[in-house]
Amino acid sequence: MPLARIALLATLPLLLLPAAADAQKRIVGGGPTAPGAYPAQAHLRIDLGAASLSCGGTLISRTKVATAAHCLDAANYALPLVVPRPVAIAPERVTVSLGSDLAGQGDRQVASAVQLHPDYDPRTSANDAAVITLPQPATQQPLSVVDPAVDAASYATGRPAVVIGWGRTTDGGQASARLLEVEVPVVSDADCNDANSYAGSLLVDVMLCAGLPEGGKDSCQGDSGGPLMTRSTGVLKLAGIVSFGDGCAAPQKYGVYTEVGAAAIQGFLATAAGAPPKATVDAVTGAVAGRATTVRVSASDPTPGGGIAAVAWDLDGDGAFDDATGLSAPWIPTAAGDQAVRARVSDSDGMVVVAERVVTVAARGSEGTAASPSVSGASAGSTPAGSTPAGSPPAGSATATTTTASGVAAAGGPASQSGAAGTGSGRARLATVSARGVRGTLRLRGTVTGTTCRAARVRVTVTRSGRRVARRTVAVDGRCAFGAALRLRGRLTIGLELLQSDGTVTRLGSRTRRVS
């Protein structure tokens, strides 16, 4: 019998969980997640009367949570141990918590329905999948489910995968109060079914393995039902469900997961939770760096009576869908080359799909415009149009700065009167910039030169530990000054871009500050 990865939260006769005493009880080799990093993660508390059990789950629509069937099979918790077939536990025994990295905290709902995969076999763990229905729509963002037609590479051998859960942190110890994560590679079916691993018992049509041959990283008890996620179209997607393992993190004994992309699992999820929307980002032609264009997505909902509820865009490749909304959106490519644009499409049930299009962006001036003026036509001491004066910084770079007594970083020389007045002469660049952290507030102010200031804006992007935490676009006034105040703490990297009225985007550089 496979060793299921359920965590016992209170004293219960071991006859009810014969595998519990044999398995190491923790997410192994990982660490705590960043706060709020996985909003679709669900904590399940299963009430057995004298005791309770803990499992994980994944919000895949506003009212549906995917998990493992063995977590919700009442036959697992009944005497005698051997029963004819699985029986779904009563929904009122299942409490689902969402929106917190702490186990059992956040928004809580008691399930209104529980559905096991009709072909779930507890003897082999085949089709170990179930869906919980919530009585009220959740406010958290659901996780996209892999689509085999688009995400086939999600199951490639060696593909990095992320597993999260509240499994126990020491063998025989207490369950983790904080959500943990570990990264493990996908393992080939052949290696997982090797004589030193599962010796041919793995049902490759509906199962996959992940882990290291030397062990050391794995999911374990308390993580059952939680997600194994792989990245595709720029985002993490639900690719597997924690099912079982022979011990935890032992050499050659990989973690085994229900393969969400398998036809039998896809069909069950579509029936129990609904089919996700379909979406394709339309082809974009004639894209030029620094010039505005339009991106569009074609989307439909295959669910009868459904519809598309929302579209959000990631146009700068940072993984956050906060750049635009709607079926079409304006886009200004920032550089020449191949750039990915992504649309996150949600249907009326909250199911999500992410569509991606890689667009080839031409360099500005290379799209067949009139010939440039002859250099010989320039007067002595002048600079040909479109070139950079000697000693000037390249377009989009920040000038060298020194800090004045007032704490304002000034450019290497005073801004010219014409630049300060915003005549648009020369190259757009920072003249001064100051970034200070005071009592949990990042205060930013500065001036630009070389642009028509009254029609310009500055886009401020703030990241912390590589993750974007804020973005704001502020106006540049008639004196070419701008400012912003953001409530943030920690070591922050502040990126600045100048958005000009003709669609040109100029990178002004970045600063790093610590705000306490």
Question: Would you name the residues annotated as active-site residues?
Answer: 70, 128, 224
Other beta carbons within 10 angstroms of residue 221's beta carbon come to: 31
Give the C-alpha separation, 206 to 121, whole Å.
12
Letter string b/e over residues 195-212, b meaning 16 or more CB atoms within 10 A of that residue's CB: eebbeeebbeebbbbbbb
- CB 156, CB 9: distance < 8 Å: no
> Where does the chain hold its CATH 2.40.10.10 domain(s)?
7-273
Give the C-alpha separation, 136 to 347, whole Å.
17
Q: Note the CATH architecture for domain 394-515.
A: Sandwich (2.60)
Question: Which regions in the chain score pLDDT beneath 50?
Answer: 8-26, 79-80, 369-426
Name the DSSP class of 73: B
Give the C-alpha separation, 497 to 510, whole Å.
9
Give the C-alpha separation, 269 to 351, whole Å.
11
- CB 301, CB 309: distance < 8 Å: no
Tell me the β-bridge partners of 475: 457
Side-chain half-sphere of 495: how many Cα atoms within 13 Å?
Answer: 17
> Where does the chain hold its CATH 2.60.40.10 domain(s)?
278-361, 394-515
Tell me the β-bridge partners of 297: 281
Alpha-carbon distances of 373 from 377, 378, 379, 384, 392, rounded to whole Å = 7, 9, 12, 7, 21
Interior angle at CA 132, CA 128 and CA 133, nearest 5: 155
Q: Taking the domain 278-361, which CATH number applies?
A: 2.60.40.10
Rounded to the nearest 10°, the torsion over CA 438, 444, 446, 451 is 180
Give the C-alpha separation, 69 to 130, whole Å.
5
Q: Note the CATH architecture for domain 7-273.
A: Beta Barrel (2.40)
Give just the sign of the alpha carbon dihedral 292, 298, 301, 307. Answer: positive
Alpha-carbon distances of 328 from 148, 186, 356, 357, 428, rounded to whole Å = 26, 36, 14, 14, 30
**3-state secondary structure (DSSP) of residue 485:** strand
